[in-house]
Amino acid sequence: MTEQNKQSSQPFAWYWYDQHGCLYITGHDRKPDLPSDAQPLYATEQNKQFDTPAPDMHVPAMEAKWQWWAGSTKEWCTVGPEDTREAIIQAATNDSLGEFQHEEGGWNLGFYIVEARQDPLRLADWIESDELLERAEESMADSDRTSSENDDGPWFECTQEQGKDLEERVKRACDEWQAAHGLKFTCSTFSHTRNQEHVIVEVADDRATTEGSR
């Protein structure tokens, strides 16, 4: 922005990051209460467009660490997490996971182990413009804004380019909201897996164990 523009217009907003990297944006009337490192956002008088680069409003990539899990089937793990392969085998053994009787009459344990990550969720990754518009159409159809039973839309028609722009804007808003509040969303499933194997543990009469895998 030129010095002439700065002299002829006031910042319309200010932004800053706290010690956790969360973004804050507030109006110019809050200036006396802002931290010393707050940065201004300007708008030109001619077209009211942003004349200062927008701050970085994204959720940083969140990656969980690799950990070990065990389950009696490939689809569902009930033991873990543990930091090492040896630790998860011992935990599954202690839990008598997948106990079965072999042909000789003795007992073995058979279970699956896997190294996996449970990366936190980014809300913006689950936003699509088609679903937003479809939900709006359904809400409109159930409202008192329809003129008759045959008034079934569509009401919110837009081009493919406009729908893409809507999606990008909503994703940016989601990122800003999630970052500003430091929200970390999780789920019980794995985002990444590796090193899956089936482990057989022989259980002796005194419950001492020896491990094998296949």
Cis before 40? omega within 30? no
pLDDT at 137: 81
110, 199 Cβ separation under 8 angstroms: yes
79, 71 Cβ separation under 8 angstroms: yes
Question: Comparing C-alpha atoms, which of 10, 213, 1 is closest to residue 113?
Answer: 213
pLDDT tens readout for residues 50-81: 444 445 545 555 688 999 999 999 999 999 99
**Residue found under tokens 């409003």:** 57
Question: Which residues have a Cβ under 8 Å from the Cβ of 201 and sit 6 or more positions away?
Answer: 89, 92, 93, 108, 109, 110, 111, 209, 210, 211, 212
pLDDT at 181: 85
Q: Mean pLDDT, the chain, as a whole number? A: 77
State the pTM of this model: 0.56
Question: Comparing C-alpha atoms, which of 213, 178, 210, 21 is closest to residue 106?
Answer: 210
